[in-house]
Amino acid sequence: MATPPLAALHLPPELVAACRQQGFHTATPVQALVIPEVLARRDLVVEARTGSGKTLAYGLPLLAVPPAQTRFPEVLVLVPTRELAEQVGGVLARTAGTLPRTVVALTGRGGLEQQAAALAAGAQVVVGTLGRLEELLARELLVLDHVRTLVLDEVDELVQGGFSEGLARLLERLPPGRQTLLFSASIPQALERLAREFMRQPRRLQLTQARDVPVELSHQVLRTKVKERQEDLARLLEVARPYQALVFCGTRHEAEEVEAALTGRGLEAEFLHGDLPASKRRRLLERFRDGELPLLVATDLAARGLDLPGVELVVQYSLPSTPVAYLHRAGRTGRAGKPGTVVSLLIEQQHQRFEHLKEHVPFQKVEVHGDRLVVRPIKSREERDLEFRRLPRRAPTTPAQAPHRPPPRRPGRRPRR
């Protein structure tokens, strides 16, 4: 799909110049579709996979509109995690360029008084998590009466487990004539209720479904055993030698064990999970994003929304339970059209999960042979049966060549004397 240059989308030259400084010249497909719709002030439900450029898809047109006043926020972006809030806030602040737009990130990581002071100084765009927004509203430090556009980014995570009462209370405090934009990698049932109750005839843009497999990714499976899995992971990393690799584990304990095994072999790695202090999580992500840390072992905390541009290899140390969760993890590589590789370590105990994933993901088999990786196709049972039928038959023997064999005895009967 051919996409236009950003300069052709009726954006202010300041925004186009800021994008060019970041290396963005052409709109991605989701940006080409979404930007005109946002500028036309339509409510949208956008289903777009991770890494498709959706932050700028809503950020560019919202930054393009001059604020009616400069004291209170007019754009509110709600995200599920503090890491994502800081990332989105940073992207929007850089993209604003020389335009007079103030972007403030509101999360539990920053000091409440410092964030309140930033709001009091005037912020046109606010990016925050639900918990911190509720806290600021309860103390009357945040005014939402002037919000003209609400963005719910990664909204499937915001409503995970059911429709959030806190989210409903927040929506009810916003002006009724606002524009509402939902961005999600998948559309759970709770979003249907959200669209019915809090949006005005929303238009659905389903450019790329969450279950569509990005063509930029190579999906491979390495068969191993429980006792050999850590050793095989280390050998894979040593032979593949990616610039950066992200290893996904199922639990906090597993992530810590894997990190210890890798560092024990002399590999530089750190683990990341939700129980770490916020300050350490921030430092780890900054080091990883800046390329100072080659290996990050993480739980699903790092699977959603975070932009980690240096990741060339994603390893699924433990398989996730659903194809959507697999693709969210896989989406940490192969971003913005770049190639990436995803290797799943398959143990016998997770064979059933793998068979389910095979219905959605085109896997290849990978093996470590010495100092190289060997990748082969995975053949279906039908293909193996067909190859077996095509095997050359053994040449028939002549009666003289055929060895004499006595006729087989029937079970339960004695030969006659």
Identify whether residues 32 and 90 lie together within a single domain: yes
Axis crossing angle, helix 351-358 with helix 323-330, rounded to the nearest 10: 80
- Give a yes or no: residue 242 inside a domain: yes
Q: What is the pLDDT of residue 109?
A: 75
Could you give the angle at the alpha carbon of 88 between the alpha carbons of 84 and 91, nearest 5°? 140
Is 153 in contact with 88 (CB distance < 8 Å)? Answer: yes
C-alpha to C-alpha distance for 291 and 277, rounded to whole angstroms: 21
Q: What is the pLDDT of residue 281?
A: 83
Identify whether residues 129 and 233 lie together within a single domain: no
Q: What is the pLDDT of residue 242?
A: 92
Identify whether residues 258 and 145 lie together within a single domain: no
Parent domain of 279:
217-377
Identify whether residues 130 and 177 lie together within a single domain: yes
* Residue 243, SS3 per DSSP: coil
Identify whether residues 227 and 201 lie together within a single domain: no
Given 205, 227, 253, the domain boundary residue is 205
Q: Work out the number of other CB atoms within 10 angstroms of the CB of residue 68.
A: 10
Could you give the angle at the alpha carbon of 54 between the alpha carbons of 50 and 60, nearest 5°? 160
Predicted confidence pLDDT, tens digits, the chain (417 residues):
567 889 899 899 999 999 999 888 899 888 999 999 999 999 999 987 766 788 999 999 999 999 999 899 999 999 988 888 988 999 999 999 999 999 999 998 778 899 999 999 999 999 999 999 999 999 999 999 999 999 999 887 787 655 577 888 899 999 999 999 999 877 666 677 778 888 988 998 877 544 455 667 899 999 999 999 999 999 999 999 999 999 999 888 999 999 999 999 999 999 988 778 877 888 888 889 888 999 999 988 766 667 788 899 999 999 988 787 888 788 888 776 678 899 999 999 999 889 888 888 889 999 999 889 999 988 655 555 555 565 665 555 555 555 555 555 544 545 454
- Give a yes or no: residue 165 inside a domain: yes
DSSP 345-398: EE-GGGHHHHHHHHTTS-EEEEEEETTEEEEEEPPPHHHHHHHHHTSPPPPPPP
Identify whether residues 197 and 272 lie together within a single domain: no
Number of domains in the chain: 2
Rounded to an integer, what is the distance from CA 21 to the centroid of its chain? 25
Could you give the angle at the alpha carbon of 278 between the alpha carbons of 272 and 279, nearest 5°? 100
Q: Report which secondary-structure segment, H or E, holds 246.
A: strand 245-248
Is 259 in contact with 283 (CB distance < 8 Å)? Answer: no
Is 31 in contact with 55 (CB distance < 8 Å)? Answer: no
Strand pairing of 372-377 and 363-369?
antiparallel
Q: Report which secondary-structure segment, H or E, holds 81.
A: none
Encoded amino acid at 364, one letter? Q
Q: What is the pLDDT of residue 80?
A: 87
Is 26 in contact with 336 (CB distance < 8 Å)? Answer: no
- Give a yes or no: residue 117 inside a domain: yes
Longest Cα pair distance anywhere in the chain, in angstroms?
Answer: 114
Identify whether residues 81 and 227 lie together within a single domain: no
Token duo for residue 130: 């639900």
Q: Which CATH number does the domain housing residue 369 bear?
A: 3.40.50.300
Given 205, 239, 266, the domain boundary residue is 205
- Angstrom CA distances, 327 to 260, 289, 315, stand at 26, 21, 12
- Angstrom CA distances, 279 to 187, 282, 289, 293, stand at 32, 5, 15, 17
- Give a yes or no: residue 212 inside a domain: no
- Angstrom CA distances, 155 to 8, 38, 373, stand at 29, 17, 39
Given 154, 174, 205, the domain boundary residue is 205
pTM (2 d.p.)? 0.66
Which of 212, 158, 160, 206 shows the shortest CA–CA distance to 326? Answer: 212
Identify whether residues 48 and 138 lie together within a single domain: yes
- Give a yes or no: residue 161 inside a domain: yes
C-alpha to C-alpha distance for 239 and 249, rounded to whole angstroms: 21
- Give a yes or no: residue 252 inside a domain: yes
* Residue 288, SS3 per DSSP: helix
Encoded amino acid at 181, one letter? L
Dihedrals φ, ψ of 266, to 5°? 90, 10
Instruction: List the strands of the sheet with 372-377, edge to edge.
Output: 269-272, 295-298, 245-248, 313-316, 340-346, 217-223, 363-369, 372-377
Which of 384, 398, 233 shows the shortest CA–CA distance to 316? Answer: 233
- Give a yes or no: residue 403 inside a domain: no
Identify whether residues 244 and 152 lie together within a single domain: no
Identify whether residues 173 and 313 lie together within a single domain: no
- Give a yes or no: residue 387 inside a domain: no
Could you give the angle at the alpha carbon of 406 between the alpha carbons of 401 and 412, nearest 5°? 155
Token pair 């009357």 is at which residue?
Answer: 140
Q: What is the pLDDT of residue 12?
A: 93
Identify whether residues 159 and 284 lie together within a single domain: no
Identify whether residues 195 and 124 lie together within a single domain: yes
